[in-house]
Each structure stands twice: as structure tokens, then as C-alpha cells.
Amino acid sequence: MSQSAQRIFAGFACAIALVFGVATQSVFAPVANAEQHGVDLIQVCKENYKQPRAKVGSLPLHFDPYSMYCYLDQPGGSAGLPIAVGISSTQVDLGDLDVQAYCSKHWPGSSANGRMMGPFPYWTCDT
């Protein structure tokens, strides 16, 4: 959120607080040292399943960060399939991504958050 948007939001929140008599300092104060760390989903699959060749796929209607899964190409199978193809006969499904385990390992105490960036799902580890 831009600084001007934060100021507008803070001003709006203060106006509401004055109307309702709510203290704003503790309710709307920004979290000190909050950070978002981008997540490499391929690395999540590699670490979750201890498979250096693991890849990331998505269910056909992939406009959801929770539709992602990990897979391996079968020997002799076609590599580099588009992400929206889903599992074909040349892929071995490894399972869902455990992004929270990845976040906890690399940034203890962080929480995994799946979001959309336009039509693309992405994940962050928020500390």
C-alpha cells in the first residue's frame, strides 16, 4: 500500500474511531518490522518432497494459490508442460505444497499467505 493510501486509510480510521470513541493507537498502529518474503514454489516442492527434479503444477482453473501441487516428470515423459495442463500420464503427482513448512524452516514464526497478483497466484512468508 502506498504512503498516501496509508495516510488516507489512517485518517479514515481515526475519523471512525473519534465517532465511536475507540482508541486508534493500538488498533491501527503498523506492525513493527513486518516483512514479506517471496516464495519460490519450485523450491518448496523440492524441499517438501526431497526431490531435486520436482516441479509445480496447477489445476486447470488455476486462479487460486491453493490449486498448486508438486509433481515429477516420468522418465521419457515430456518436460516443460504448461502450468495449467494438470497431471497427464507423463507426470507423477507428489502432492500439495506445504508452504507453511517452508516458511517456518526459513523464517521461524512466519506465516504462509497465498494471494493473487492479477491472474497469477503467488505466496509470501510474512514475519
Same domain, 3 and 43: no
Q: Are residues 46 and 81 in the same domain?
A: yes
The structural domain count of the chain equals 2
Task: Please check whether residues 104 and 52 belong to one and the same domain.
Answer: yes
Domain shared by 24 and 84, yes or no: no
User: Would you say residue 4 has pLDDT above 70?
Assistant: no
Query: E strands, the chain, where?
Result: 36-38, 55-58, 68-73, 91-96, 111-117, 120-126
C-alpha cell at 62: 488455476
* Whether residue 9 sits in one domain with residue 49: no
Q: What is the pLDDT, as a whole number, of residue 49? A: 96
Distance between CA atoms of residues 120 and 56, nearest Å? 13
Together in a domain, 42 and 74:
yes
Burial class of 104 by CB neighbour count within 10 A (0 to 12, 13 to 18, 19+): middle
| Structural domain range at position 108 | 36-126
Tell whether the model's pLDDT for residue 54 goes beyond 90: yes
pLDDT of residue 50: 96
Are 23 and 71 contained in the same domain? no
